[in-house]
Chain A
């Protein structure tokens, strides 16, 4: 992003655009104050008192993921690869979200844990808990730094403020509302952000399609572009995976992206799971990812499609696709399209939407970090048994500390030329082994506490080893290729080590594992209630999941 040609991208914003943008920030802070009124104990601050309705947590679930990386990265992919980018949404997210809802949520919500590491504590005991707590906290600060850096670089490009000023102003705003209202403020703002993002991208897509002559016009222009007609169908996506063979490419998308990466990310990532934990009942918790899956299916049409439109209509993008060097890169697709198509007024809304999306990612990291740091590190190992007030009062200070940490890691992120590489690396270190430990621990009661932490440590270590080997040039793989291999290695090593260690150490007695392991948990306690506020066919998790799955299949056929 740092090679952006500044004046090419400076949007022609007028007074009215800035006014609309400013109004949005007034609302964001207002929501922070509103959420503050409802905070009376630490569970309120860190888990919204487990009281939110499913539509709110469901939208927050998807909005927490609709950050800078999604908007900028996926529109860039759209401009570059076209329709195969859809896989990141359909194969790469929806099945994992449904799996989280139907299979894993009953254990998370049913065991009344307050965080993913706390589930580790119940299932495997203290060493695994501490390892997971610390690695999660570190990962969140690193990822928050990436989000903050992207946010600041956009402010820098759009408004011309110096990078460090943009960085501090952006951090201050996110800090203010998360410190005020805790998770509720973050979640309510995510809901608000979601609608503003849609309000920004929907008109952009509409005008874009109008300009290229509707869907037919887009199809015609993309077919004639250097990428050719291959960019119009999602399968087999050879360009995206880099495999020459169609069958291998499909296999790569389904297992690589759809299974290891997506399941690792969506099912154990506390940033996401926390949104479901904040809901008011088991049924609502199960519905959270499913409700989130509906917008997830639709979002690519207002993110990837504008990218494709930019690829055939914005002069710089057309030049880039033709192999010239117009001084921009694919990451600029969305901004250039806004510059070309949106008049003042709607441009202000678009700016608000972009900044909203970038803040959403960081606020989500901060609120998840808060919970884990306070409950799983401070309360469990440093200052035990204090009154609840003490932990509640810590909240804003922890948020402030995390924000300062994120400003620091933003400078690390600024040293990477491709942020997607950096992020995938972090995911391979932290998410892949965690997913292996979770899935084994939930379904195999024999898995022992020692295996829990040894598997995690060695899994992470093997991902780090792959990273170091590829840095040293021993393994010749491009940036993201190395992290895919790292994730795979972490997963396999974690499973192998956990099984081996389990066979020679002592498992926990069965009665301590009720509600934590599938075979030892009574079926009834895994089922969500269907009475009262959870009644009605449209609130049945399995039925809703079936509808989502059917839509996913249809989309893959229509756009395949």
Chain B
């Protein structure tokens, strides 16, 4: 999001305390579960949503969204804690 800063924090700990990574993680699991459910929909489920395989489409949508957020977090990582006590958990 911001202009690249020289100091980068692309470590596991740095990424895990970034809200973008956490969002990506949650939606990866949600997306995967829904996509698997949507891969073999029951007739009853399809009937409910008017023939639309909503689990599959939402699942795939969530996976794409998760990938985008993970990519954003990876490409512009949070700057490490500044000496003046800048919060390390803050995303850029």
A binding-site residues for B, Cβ under 8 Å: 16, 19-20, 23-24, 27, 30-31, 34-35, 37-38, 40-41, 44, 48-49, 51-53, 55-56, 184, 188, 191-192, 195-196, 199, 202-203, 206-207, 210-211, 280, 340-346, 349, 532-533, 535
B binding-site residues for A, Cβ under 8 Å: 1-3, 16-17, 19, 22-23, 25-27, 29-30, 33-34, 37-38, 41-42, 44-46, 48-50, 52, 54-55, 57-59, 62, 65, 85-92
B54 and A192 contacting across the interface, CB-CB below 8 Å: no
- By Cβ-Cβ distance, the 9 closest A-B pairs, closest first, are A343-B45, A51-B87, A345-B37, A38-B89, A211-B50, A345-B55, A203-B58, A38-B87, A207-B49
Given the interface pairs A210-B49, A341-B48, the reply to whether A16 lies near B87 with Cβ below 8 Å is no
Given the interface pairs A44-B87, A53-B92, A56-B91, the reply to whether A345 lies near B19 with Cβ below 8 Å is no
Known: A27-B22, A51-B86. 15 other contacts (CB 8 A): A16-B33, A35-B89, A38-B17, A41-B85, A44-B87, A52-B87, A53-B92, A188-B19, A188-B22, A199-B58, A203-B58, A207-B52, A280-B90, A346-B34, A349-B58
A342 and B89 contacting across the interface, CB-CB below 8 Å: no
A23 and B19 contacting across the interface, CB-CB below 8 Å: no
Our pick among A23, A55, A535 for the contact of B26 (Cβ within 8 Å) is A23
* Residue on A nearest B69 in the bound complex, by CB: A195
29 interchain pairs, CB-CB under 8 A = A27-B22, A34-B17, A34-B89, A37-B17, A37-B89, A38-B88, A49-B87, A53-B90, A53-B92, A55-B91, A56-B90, A56-B91, A188-B89, A195-B27, A207-B52, A207-B54, A210-B49, A211-B49, A341-B48, A343-B41, A343-B42, A343-B44, A343-B46, A343-B48, A343-B55, A345-B38, A346-B34, A346-B55, A533-B3
Query: Which residues from chain A contact B29 at a C-beta distance below 8 Å?
Result: 23
Residue from the set B27, B45, B90 with the largest chain A CB neighbour count within 10 Å: B90
* Residue on B nearest A54 in the bound complex, by CB: B1
B37 and A344 contacting across the interface, CB-CB below 8 Å: yes
* Residue on B nearest A50 in the bound complex, by CB: B87
Query: Which residues from chain B contact A203 at a C-beta distance below 8 Å?
Result: 54, 57-58
Query: Which residues from chain A contact B38 at a C-beta distance below 8 Å?
Result: 345
B64 to chain A, nearest CB (A): 12
B22 and A30 contacting across the interface, CB-CB below 8 Å: yes
B17 and A343 contacting across the interface, CB-CB below 8 Å: no
A40 and B22 contacting across the interface, CB-CB below 8 Å: no
Our pick among A20, A41, A184, A202 for the contact of B89 (Cβ within 8 Å) is A184
A29 to chain B, nearest CB (A): 12
Query: Which residues from chain B contact A55 at a C-beta distance below 8 Å?
Result: 1, 91
Give the CA-CA distance A366 to B43 in the complex, in Å: 45
A35 to chain B, nearest CB (A): 6
A509 to chain B, nearest CB (A): 34
Give the CA-CA distance A49 to B89 in the complex, in Å: 11
Q: Is the interface of B mostly helix, strand, loop or mixed?
A: helix
Query: Which residues from chain B contact A30 at a C-beta distance below 8 Å?
Result: 22
B48 and A342 contacting across the interface, CB-CB below 8 Å: yes
A187 to chain B, nearest CB (A): 9
Give the CA-CA distance A196 to B42 in the complex, in Å: 25
* Residue on B nearest A279 in the bound complex, by CB: B90
Give the CA-CA distance A38 to B2 in the complex, in Å: 22
Give the CA-CA distance A203 to B53 in the complex, in Å: 11
A20 and B30 contacting across the interface, CB-CB below 8 Å: yes
A22 to chain B, nearest CB (A): 11
Query: Which residues from chain A contact B23 at a C-beta distance below 8 Å?
Result: 191-192, 195
Query: Which residues from chain A contact B55 at a C-beta distance below 8 Å?
Result: 343, 345-346
A342 and B54 contacting across the interface, CB-CB below 8 Å: yes
Give the CA-CA distance A343 to B33 in the complex, in Å: 13
A341 and B49 contacting across the interface, CB-CB below 8 Å: yes
B50 and A207 contacting across the interface, CB-CB below 8 Å: yes
Give the CA-CA distance A55 to B90 in the complex, in Å: 11
Give the CA-CA distance A48 to B19 in the complex, in Å: 14
Residue from the set B54, B59, B87 with the largest chain A CB neighbour count within 10 Å: B87
Give the CA-CA distance A463 to B2 in the complex, in Å: 47
Give the CA-CA distance A445 to B27 in the complex, in Å: 52
* Residue on A nearest B51 in the bound complex, by CB: A210
Query: Which residues from chain B contact A211 at a C-beta distance below 8 Å?
Result: 49-50
A11 to chain B, nearest CB (A): 12
A31 and B22 contacting across the interface, CB-CB below 8 Å: yes
B8 to chain A, nearest CB (A): 15
Give the CA-CA distance A533 to B1 in the complex, in Å: 9
B33 and A20 contacting across the interface, CB-CB below 8 Å: yes
Query: Which residues from chain A contact B30 at a C-beta distance below 8 Å?
Result: 20, 23, 199, 349
Query: Which residues from chain B contact A48 at a C-beta distance below 8 Å?
Result: 87, 90
Query: Which residues from chain A contact B59 at a C-beta distance below 8 Å?
Result: 345
* Residue on A nearest B47 in the bound complex, by CB: A343
A192 and B33 contacting across the interface, CB-CB below 8 Å: no
Given the interface pairs A55-B1, A192-B19, A533-B2, the reply to whether A210 lies near B50 with Cβ below 8 Å is yes
